[in-house]
Amino acid sequence: MMPHHIHLQVTAFASFLLALSLIQYIFIISTSAFIPSRQHKYSTILPQHQHSTLRHYDTNFRPQPLRLSTTTPLDLAQSILPSVALILPMGVRNTTARGSGFVIDVPSTTKQVDGNDSIYLLTAAHVALPGYRIQVVFYPNNGESVVSSSATVIDRDVESDLALLQVNVTESQFTATTLPQPLVISNQTKANVGTPAYAMGYPSGGVVGPAMTSGIVCGNALGLVTSASAGILQDSITNETDDSNNSTDKEKTRYVVTDAAMAGGMSGGPLVDGNTGHVLGLNALINMELRALGNYAVSAAECIEFLGTQNLESDGDAGSNNEQPTTYQVVLYNDRFNKRARVQSLLENIAMLNSTVSNQAMMDAHTKGRGVVKEFSGGDAEARKLCDALRKEDLLVEIETVR
């Protein structure tokens, strides 16, 4: 029979591991902000004068691979890191977070860059925080210069943890020869185990500029792996702990598992194939419990499926006679700083809502994470005006298109 004091120690240790299994996933973004819970896709504003098509993910077009003379770590770093950007979300009271993203589409290099051109980046949904002002920073010319610009969230999918950003660029920021090169997302259904892999991004902790870590592809995961599904403490943990049991295989997000170390701030950066320079996945989270096997990237297949859902209008299509009027809605998100009475008062005085409607929008944001403030039909000018006015009062707001 086990002595009483040893039994207590074993029980305490088992309880400690159980707690770890319940709090095991760390999104690799440096932030203390509250992220509202929303489990289905929604789209934010795409201004009518900035409609474009993601050329690199047309069904009839595939990007050319990076032309690398060799694929040494130095070659990969010099070729790919200029296309990896620092993402800085800013919220209430200038609360800032830190993440990464990478370029997937740029203006045609056959013409001069002008104010209507855009760069598109892929990042993690938990980096492009709802209602936050997004700043994107590039380090072209091997880090010798810095280019900073605001970004618009075009689409965000919380379930797969992916977001698409649009950044307007001008000739003063980039020329046709200094634009960052779009990265190529691998068309492999699954990453091959043993493939050399490099995780890239902008880690926090005093690292200046972009960083890169090395490893291999250790495996592919369908849904998140918990201690129960990994075979740890199977006698103490029920299947209810395993989140992967709560959805079908088609609903689970596909991940690439690597031992290339990821750190806070690297969320949204690319996991790159060391042989080809193609993107194997998007850095997403760390499972501390699995140690070296705990670095997860959303798979390339998942990224391509997300980009395939984008149906942005090509130039000249916007405003056509056959186009249905677009409705824009200003959405309020919950934050931990503003008091409910202040939020309701601002909605009444700025959005000109009556007390009933303002209270409903405020309470929806407080209890559900988000609430609709007001809807506008036709152009987006009035929606932008209201959004800017509410942001000046330090509220988390964003514009969405109603499709």
pLDDT greater than 50 at residue 353: yes
Q: What is the pLDDT of residue 37?
A: 35
pLDDT tens string 111-125:
455 556 788 999 999
pLDDT tens string 366-386:
999 999 999 999 888 999 999
pLDDT greater than 90 at residue 56: no
Read off the pLDDT band of 292 (50, 70, 90). confident
Cα torsion 71, 267, 296, 203: sign? positive
Phi, psi of 87 (to 5 degrees): -110, 125
Q: What is the pLDDT of residue 140?
A: 76
Which of 172-176, 201-205, 307-311 is most confident? 201-205
* Token pair belonging to 377: 């039909």
CA dist 99 and 257 (Å) reads 19
Rounded percentage of the chain residues whose pLDDT exceeds 70: 67
First and final C-alpha spacing in the chain: 67
Spatial CB neighbours of 297, under 8 Å, sequence gap ≥ 6: 199, 255, 256, 258, 271, 280, 281, 282, 283, 284
Residues in a beta bridge with 155 = 43, 164
Q: Which of 70-84, 204-218, 262-276, 318-332 has the lowest mean pLDDT?
A: 318-332
Q: Which residue has the tokens 């008091």?
A: 339
Closest CA to 227 of 5, 11, 20: 20
Query: Could you give the angle at which helices 340-350 and 355-368 cross, rounded to 10 degrees?
Result: 130
pLDDT greater than 60 at residue 349: yes
pLDDT tens string 206-258:
888 899 999 999 999 988 654 433 333 333 223 333 444 455 555 689 999 99
Greater confidence, 60 or 336?
A: 336
Spatial CB neighbours of 55, under 8 Å, sequence gap ≥ 6: 61, 105
pLDDT greater than 80 at residue 397: yes
pLDDT greater than 90 at residue 19: no
Phi, psi of 48 (to 5 degrees): -60, -30
Which of 136-150, 178-192, 280-294 is most confident? 178-192
Q: What is the pLDDT of residue 69?
A: 60
